[in-house]
Amino acid sequence: MINPNSLYDALLDALYATFGNHPGFRVTHAKGVLVSGTFVASAAAGRLSIAPHLQGQPVSVLLRFSNFSGLPATPDGDPMASPHGLAIRFALPDDQATDIVAHSFNGFPVATPEEFLSFLQGIAANAATPPNPAPLQTFLAGHSRAKAFLDNPKPAPRSYLSSTYFGVNALLFKGPDGVLRAGRYRIEPLQIEATLNESQAAQPADYLQHELAHRLGRATVTLRLMLQLAQPTDVVSDGSIPWPESNPKVELGQLRLDRLIPFEEQIATQQRLDFNPGRLPLGITPSSDPMVGAREGIYQRALIRRQQH
């Protein structure tokens, strides 16, 4: 069995081999934009979990919308920008915090950290000069969900605010009744907007950032934080398998976005932030999905590398 830190380093090595080293930027989702706001939990949230940010009092939040690519100059509408990402930092009492890290595809490409390493190494080999597509082709032949992740259509969104974002790994939510319920986060717009068609897709490189600034300049924007609950037949341990849309969903509360962090402060503020999906508060714990702990370790190692470069 591979030592976890060696595994995380190998995963990061594969990502750096794919996208290159861009000092100060994240190895993936390098290009992003920060927005501040407030989260107000619903009454239902407090019945599902004793987590402090789900008890109904307003909580300050910081959101980072991003493009998938590890290249900081990737145009917002480029297929390499998809799936787009959304990370959320919730401020908790006593200077604590908890994070959600989600993206705009319903599912993770693989089920385990070891599969993730093979997947990323295949992508890195395919991106090398000269390219070697064989490792990726071999991997995808035996991993249909990873192939679906790569082959999924990637139309340009109208706005960062018009997409649904999925927290693809299940967590356990402990309610005041002591019951543990497995669920996956979703962040949904109040109104779904169609993606851009081919004739509309020729947009400026930073159009999503500017659209976001324009929309927030007019009014507060509201997103819904949802929890999709697992049913007895669902596979909780495999984030690559989407759960049925018929599963019950609970609105945990609303994210009310009111301010774009000034552009001159964006890069410095983003470099200080270390969103981590494993940063969990009292009342929320990891499930049996092995990628929950792995992503926590990978994000920690990625932060160390980013600070060293």
Token pair for 184: 């996956």
User: Cβ-count burial of 248 within 10 angstroms (0-12 exposed, 13-18 middle, 19+ buried)?
Assistant: exposed
| Pairing outcome for strands 180-189 and 171-174 | antiparallel
Residue 242 is classified by DSSP as: P
Phi and psi at residue 53, in whole multiples of 5°?
-80, -5
Helices 113-127, 4-19: crossing angle, 10 deg rounding: 30
CA dihedral 131→135→139→141, nearest 10 degrees, is: 80
- Per DSSP, the residues of 125-162 read HHHSSS---HHHHHHHHT-HHHHHHHHS--PPPS-GGG
Task: Spot the catalytic one: 29, 84, 103, 143.
Answer: 29
Q: Where are the alpha helices (DSSP H) in the chain?
A: 4-19, 43-48, 113-127, 134-141, 144-151, 207-218, 263-272, 290-308
Contact between 187 and 164 (Cβ < 8 Å) = yes
Structure tokens of 271? 């470099």
Task: Specify whether the CB–CB gap between 84 and 160 falls below 8 A.
Answer: yes
First-last CA distance in the chain: 29
Quote the radius of gyration of the chain (alpha carbons, Å).
19
The question of whether 143 is a catalytic residue gets the answer no
Active centre residues (catalytic): 29
